[in-house]
Structure 1
Amino acid sequence: MHFSSLIYIIRISFITLLFSISTLKAHPHSWVSVFTEIEGNDTHLTGFKMFWTFDLITTSDALSGEDVSERKLPGTLKRLSREMLVNIKANDYFTFLEWQGKTLSFADPLQEKLILEDYKLTLSFFLPLQKPLQLPITDLQLEIYEDTYYVDFLWLQKDDIQLSEQFRANCAMNIIEANTTSEQIAYAASLPKDAQGDSKLGAQFTQKLNINCL
C-alpha cells in the first residue's frame, strides 16, 4: 500500500499528540471524526465504545516510516494502537464525564483496535466507567476534547452517537453545540502551529452530549 499521493500540509500531526503529549501546540490542525456507542443495561450505564477516525494527513504522518506491507500491517497497527492508548491516558483519553457537579473516572480501556480503511486510521476502544452509574440518571454530560484545541474532536451528525441495544429503551440524549463567539473563533484561527497552547481553548469549542436515563 502506498501513501506518497497524500499531501503533507501539516508536519506536526495528531500522532505527535498521541506519542508526546508534552510537546503539543495550537488550533486546530488535526481533525478526528467521533462515533460513540453508550453501553449499559436495565440498571446501570457501564461505559462508552469509541471510534476515532483520523483525517488523511494525520493518517499519512502516523504511518510515515512504518512497515505497511500486507504481511506486516496487522502487527504495525496493533503496536500503534497500544502506544496511542498508553500516551493519551495522561489526558484522561480526552473524554470528560460530569454528573451532579462531579467528574466521573474511567477504568483502563478494553478491546483496543486500530484499522486502516480508505486511507484513514480509526482507533476503537471501550472506555468503562470506574464504577458503573446506577439508573436513573439526569443531565449526565459527556465531552471529548483536547485542551489546547490543536485537535478537533467532532460528532459530525446525530447518528454518530448510538445507544446499545440493551440500553436503548431507558435513555434519551441530545447534542449541545459549542456556543463560541466570533472573537473566540478569530483567536483560534490566528494561532500558528507552533504557538504556545492555550489550555482553556478546547473546552470553548467542544460539543456536549446530554444523557438522561430512566
Structure 2
Amino acid sequence: MLHYNRCGIAALGLIIAFSSSIVCAHPHSFIDMQTSLVHQGDELTGLKMRWVMDEITSADLLYDAGTAKADSVVWKKLAAEVMANVLGQHYFTEFWHQKQPVKFENLPPEYHLSRQGHQAVLEFILPLAHPQALKGQRYTFSTFDPTYFVDMYYDSEKALIVPAELAAQCHFELYTPKPDASMQAYALSLDKADAPAEEMDLGRQFAQTVTLICQ
C-alpha cells in the first residue's frame, strides 16, 4: 500500500514514505511530459500522455514493484493506485476552447505504469467527454500541480506530437512562462512545513500552456 507525505508529489500520491530529513523546497519533484493527439477522423477525442518521473520520485514505486514482470498484478495494482490519485485531481489538466472549459470523461480508457531504467513512467489516455472538431479550431491546455510541489513540464515542442495523418492540418505551440525573480525566490523558499497561499495559485504561475492550432 502506498503511503503519502506532504512533500513533492504528495498531491499526486506518487511518493512513498520519503525521509523527513529531506527539505521539500518548491518544486521538489519533476515530471517530464509527452503528449500526442488522439482522434477519430477530423475529431479530437483525447490526449495520450506519458509522464516520466524523476529518479527520487520513482524510487519507492520501483521498490514496491521489485522484480515483478511488466504485466503482473503488482504493476497493475500500483498503476491503479497512482491513476486514482491523478483522477482525483482531474488529470491535473485544464483544457479550453474559445475561453470555455472542455470537460473530460471520469475514467481513462487505458493506463499503464512501467519502468524505464531508474524512472517510473505513467502512460494514459485523457478522454474528452465529447469529441471536438479539429478543422479551423484552436484549443489550449495546461497540465500542472496547483501547489507547485511538482514541476510538470515539456522539455520542448518535440514532446508534443501530432499524428502523421494530421500533420498537414494541425500543429502545436508551446509557451513557457517566465515568472519574475521575486516569484521564483518565493517558490524556492518554501519547504515541507510551508504551503503557498491558495490565492497565489502558485502552480499556474509556472505552468506551460500548449496551443493546438488546426486549419
Distance in structure 1 (CA, Å) of the matches to 2:43 and 2:98: 16
Counterpart check, 1:213 vs 2:214: yes
TM-score by length of 2: 0.84
Alignment of structure 1 residues 68-79 onto 2, 5 Å: 68-70=66-68, 74-79=72-77
Counterpart check, 1:179 vs 2:174: no
Cα deviation code 1:24-53 (max 9, x no counterpart): x96210000001001224421111000000
Aligned partners of 2:68 and 2:74 also within 8 Å:
no
Distance in structure 2 (CA, Å) of the matches to 1:210 and 1:151: 22
Alignment of structure 1 residues 39-54 onto 2, 5 Å: 39-54=38-53
TM-score by length of 1: 0.84
Shift of the 196–46 alpha-carbon distance from structure 1 to 2, 3 Å rule, reads same
Unaligned runs of 5+ in 2: 15-23
Distance in structure 2 (CA, Å) of the matches to 1:85 and 1:72: 16
Corresponding residue for 2:31? 32
Corresponding residue for 1:204? 205
Distance in structure 2 (CA, Å) of the matches to 1:88 and 1:106: 13
1:103 equivalent among 101, 125, 129: 101
Corresponding residue for 1:5? none
Matched residue type, 1:152: D
Shift of the 159–91 alpha-carbon distance from structure 1 to 2, 3 Å rule, reads same
Q: Percent identity at matched positions?
A: 28
Corresponding residue for 2:54? 55
Aligned partners of 1:67 and 1:73 also within 8 Å:
no
Counterpart check, 1:188 vs 2:187: yes
Aligned pair count? 200
Distance in structure 2 (CA, Å) of the matches to 1:205 and 1:46: 27
Distance in structure 2 (CA, Å) of the matches to 1:140 and 1:149: 24
Aligned partners of 1:28 and 1:149 also within 8 Å:
yes
SS of residue matched to 1:189: helix
Corresponding residue for 2:133? 134
Counterpart check, 1:89 vs 2:87: yes
Matched residue type, 2:7: I
What RMSD over aligned residues (CA atoms) do the two structures have, in Å? 2.4
Distance in structure 1 (CA, Å) of the matches to 2:124 and 2:117: 20
Of 166-175 and 108-117, more deviation after overlay is shown by 166-175
Aligned partners of 1:11 and 1:61 also within 8 Å:
no
Following superposition, the deviation at residue 129 of structure 1 comes to: 0.6
Following superposition, the deviation at residue 73 of structure 1 comes to: 7.9
Distance in structure 2 (CA, Å) of the matches to 1:137 and 1:184: 37
Matched residue type, 1:141: T
Of 150-159 and 195-204, more deviation after overlay is shown by 195-204
Distance in structure 2 (CA, Å) of the matches to 1:120 and 1:73: 17
Shift of the 137–187 alpha-carbon distance from structure 1 to 2, 3 Å rule, reads farther
Cα deviation code 1:64-123 (max 9, x no counterpart): 4x2512459832221111111112212111011111111111112122000111110000
